[in-house]
Each structure stands twice: as C-alpha cells, then as structure tokens.
Amino acid sequence: MAAGDRTVLQFNSPSSASLSAKVHPLVIFNICDCYVRRPDQAERVIGTLLGSVLPDGTVDIRNSYAVPHTESAEQVALDIEYHHNMLVSHQKVNPKEVIVGWYSTGLGVTGGSALIHDFYSREVSNPIHLTVDTGFRNGEGTVKAFVSVNLALGDRQLAAQFQEIPLDLCMVEAERVGFDILKKTAVDKLPNDLEGMEVTMGRLLALIDDVYKYVDDVVEGRVPADNNIGRFIAETVASLPKLSPPAFDKLMNDSLQDQLLLLYLSSIARTQLGLAEKLNTAAQIL
C-alpha cells in the first residue's frame, strides 16, 4: 500500500456523531504486551480489534491480536494472510466476536494510518481506530478512539479526516488495580492479593467519605439536592445485604478457607506436574 499524496487530518474534539466505543482492559494489556515483544526494528505495533456492536450502537472492543507489518515513509505492508488466519482461529473460540477496527501504538494518527484504515474499511464498515500511547508521554498511557471520514471535492478525494469519538474504559475494581500499575513508568514489585485488596478498600473508604460529605452538604443546604444522585445512593444502600457482624465474620472466614484450599490444591498439582516431568526426563535418558 503506497502512501501517495493523501493528507490526514486529526480532530481531537469528540465527534458530533452518536458513535461511541468502550474497551476492556484485556485489550490494553494485550497491546502493551505486543509492544514489548515487538521486533527491534519496529517503531510501533499494529493489530486487529475484535468485539461487537451493542444494540445502542456502542462498539464493544473485547479482544485483539497483533498483525505483522513493515512500514516506511512511503508505504505500509500488512501480513494479510496472517491476519485472516488469526481471525479464523479467534472465531472458532468466540464466534460472536467480529472485526470492529484496528489499533496502533503511539500518540495520535500518522500518514500511514489512512492506508491501514482503508484496508480495514474493506473488512468492516466504519472501523474504529484505537491508539495507545505506550511511550507514556503525558505520564500515563493515553488511549483514544477515532473514526475516519473521507473529504472529497466532486470526484476527487482530498483527505482522510480522523475524528475522535467518546471512549469508555470499562473495568472492575480488580482490573483497575492492574491498570493503575500499568500506567506507572516504573514499579518496584507487583502487589500481592492482600496489597491489592488493601488498595481497593482504601479507595472504597475514600468514596464512602465523599458520599458522607455530599449528604451532609445537602442536609446543611450548602449544595443543591440532586434527585438522581439521591436515588442512586438509596438503591446502593438498599442493595447491601443485611448481615449481623457474626454472620459477616463467618462468611469471610469460609471464603478465606476456600481460597486457601484452592491454593493448596494448585500447589499439589504443580508439584505433581514437576515430578512427572522429571521422571519422564530421567526415563528418556535411561
């Protein structure tokens, strides 16, 4: 795919269109892992995004895989056969996941992005272009989503206009702990389960303090009341199970014992596998 004289326009303000996207943390982790394992001569990583389109029109990005490519100032070449083979393999496991776009590492779009976007436009209509800043230029990994609109004058195509669309990074609390670590440029060590729970509980206590402060401000008349927020707080409180302290302690102890039992069983299985591997190696030597 030759670069030609096409112009690429990037608009950082969200598009006025109703199209939006949400991405799962697994996709970000996978992209960062592919970037770390990239060939030495490669400046960025390019890959395919898999997911589905929700009934409300939101593009749900759930999976991804890297596609080998070579890129220069004049042209971009994708391994199309590898791309199709990987797509077939993924759809054997998750047949509901289809191509929804493509990703690249780096900050913003480049001239070669228009060529790659043209290829994915033949694979799926209106593909999403996801960019992940693995260089941490702003102190954290910036993730953005774009769609492309062709600008033409009569029959002559002038440029490819990339417009940013709203992007939601949806994750549970356990995934957020890992994502916060990923955003840091240097980490001494990964937290264990207990440290991760401590961070989560600290964040939960901070949120509870914010709710207490908001309720007190409303009662004292310092801030106006919001019916939607009040209804949400009431539904949250009503969803909490009514347990006595002894019943709650018993529930926590039972759950802890189950987790310890799973750790013990997994340790036994790992020991058995290691022993079997050593016996098999000794038998082959003899």
In 3D, which of 88, 96, 14 has the Cα closest to residue 54? 96
In 3D, which of 163, 227, 221, 173 has the Cα closest to residue 196? 173
pLDDT band at 11 (very low <50, low <70, confident <90, very high): very low
Contact 59, 20 (CB under 8 A): yes
How far, CA to CA in Å, does 166 sit from each of 8, 22, 41, 73, 130? 20, 8, 33, 30, 11
pLDDT band at 14 (very low <50, low <70, confident <90, very high): very low
- Residues contacting 217, CB < 8 A, separation 6+: 223
Which tokens belong to 203? 């964040």
Q: Beta 143-153 vs 128-132: how paired, if at all?
A: antiparallel
Residue 43 exposed, middle or buried by CB count within 10 Å (0-12, 13-18, 19+): exposed
Buried-exposed string 248-286: b where 16+ CB fall within 10 A, e elsewhere: eeeeeeeeeeeeeeeeeeeeeeeeeeeeeeeeeeeeeee
CA torsion, ordered 59, 61, 64, 69, to nearest 10 deg: 40
- Note if the pTM is more than 0.75: no
In 3D, which of 144, 133, 183 has the Cα closest to residue 167? 144
Write down the pLDDT at residue 4: 47
Write down the pLDDT at residue 261: 87
Q: Which tops the pLDDT comparison, 92 or 182? A: 92
Write down the pLDDT at residue 158: 65
Task: State the Cα angle at 69 between 64 and 70, rounded to 5°.
Answer: 155
Share of the chain above pLDDT 90, in %: 8
- List pLDDT tens digits, range 159-207: 677 888 888 887 776 677 667 666 665 555 656 666 777 877 888 889 8
Write down the pLDDT at residue 47: 92
DSSP string, 140-196: S--EEEEEEEEEEETTEEEEEEEEEE-EEE---HHHHHHHHHHHSS--SS---HHHH
Expressed in angstroms, the distance from the first to the final Cα of the chain is 57
Write down the pLDDT at residue 189: 61
Place of tokens 């002038």: 158
